[in-house]
């Protein structure tokens, strides 16, 4: 019975793409096949020339194994523990669709002037970094002026689609002294939203 054609996962494709970013990766690959899974190397004849080997259905799996070793030994990336991060990075390249954001922004709000609030945001997974997650096109900002934060996102009005932190929000004169409740979410580069953030609240400066 003929073997089924082996298929690569998105994480496999990501490790291959990472390896390809190094122009010298071919030199690394010359000596690693003795550490590749023998179930894969057994599919190749030791006497086969390069052209024959390239046509072997198992060549993609062999390349993926080489790439995994490259990521672990050269880039110090423990591939098996970072599958989701590798998937997100690869999707963020725009080579294979775009992932829907699975994390959410976290906000810090400062009253910077009369009737103005400045919202600084970052990803909840990397709160000390300004960079957006891979594949994210921007941050949608919503606001509800209310003493108590509404529990339904539909009760918040859309304020801005922000591509750079911080975002300035201006209010009407009658809102001075009231509480602004801010809700955020990431959207990817084709407009698909991720999960809602936690509500961040602040008093709107009246003077």
pLDDT (tens digit, 9 = 90+) per residue, 104-141? 999 999 998 999 999 999 999 998 888 888 878 899 99
- DSSP reduced 3-state for 162: strand
pLDDT tens digits, residue range 20-72? 887 777 777 777 877 787 777 777 776 666 667 566 777 888 888 888 888 88
For tokens 């609030």, name the residue.
117
Q: What is the pLDDT of residue 159?
A: 93
Domain span including residue 115: 105-203
Domain contains 99: no
- At residue 138's C-alpha, the angle toward residues 197 and 99, to 5°, is 80
Q: Select from 97, 86, 73 the least CA-distant residue to 17.
A: 86
Asked whether the whole model's pTM tops 0.85, one would answer no
- Residue 2, pLDDT > 50, answer no
Q: Which helix (H) or strand (E) holds 183?
A: strand 179-188
Residue 100 lies in a domain: no
Residues 111 and 83 in one domain: no
Question: Residues 135, 158: one domain?
Answer: yes
Q: How far is CA 16 from CA 11, 44, 203, in A?
A: 9, 20, 50
Among 92, 118, 140, identify where a domain stops.
92
132 and 156 in a common domain:
yes
Environment class of residue 175 by beta-carbon count within 10 Å: exposed (0-12), middle (13-18) or buried (19+)? Answer: middle
- Please identify, among 60, 92, 124, the residue that sits at the C-terminal boundary of a domain: 92
Q: Starting at the edge strand that comes first in sequence, how are the strands of the sheet with 157-162 ordered?
A: 157-162, 136-145, 179-188, 200-203
């Amino acid at each position: 019975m003929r073997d089924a054609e082996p298929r690569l996962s998105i994480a496999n494709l990501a490790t291959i793409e990472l390896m390809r970013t190094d122009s010298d990766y071919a030199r690394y690959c010359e000596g690693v096949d003795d550490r590749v899974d023998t179930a894969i190397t057994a599919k190749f004849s030791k006497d086969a020339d390069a052209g024959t080997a390239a046509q072997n259905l198992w060549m993609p799996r062999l390349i993926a194994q080489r790439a995994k070793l490259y990521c672990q030994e050269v880039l110090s990336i423990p591939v098996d523990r970072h599958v989701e991060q590798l998937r997100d990075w690869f999707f963020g390249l725009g080579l294979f669709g775009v992932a829907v954001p699975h994390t959410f922004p976290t906000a810090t709000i400062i009253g910077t002037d009369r009737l103005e609030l400045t919202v600084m945001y970052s990803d909840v997974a990397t709160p000390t970094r300004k960079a957006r997650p891979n594949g994210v096109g921007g941050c949608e900002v919503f606001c509800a002026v209310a003493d108590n934060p509404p529990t339904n996102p539909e009760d918040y009005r859309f304020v801005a689609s922000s591509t750079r932190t911080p975002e300035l929000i201006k209010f009407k004169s009658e809102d001075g002294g009231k509480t602004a409740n801010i809700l955020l979410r990431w959207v990817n580069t084709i407009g698909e939203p991720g999960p809602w953030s936690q509500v961040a609240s602040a008093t709107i400066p009246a003077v």
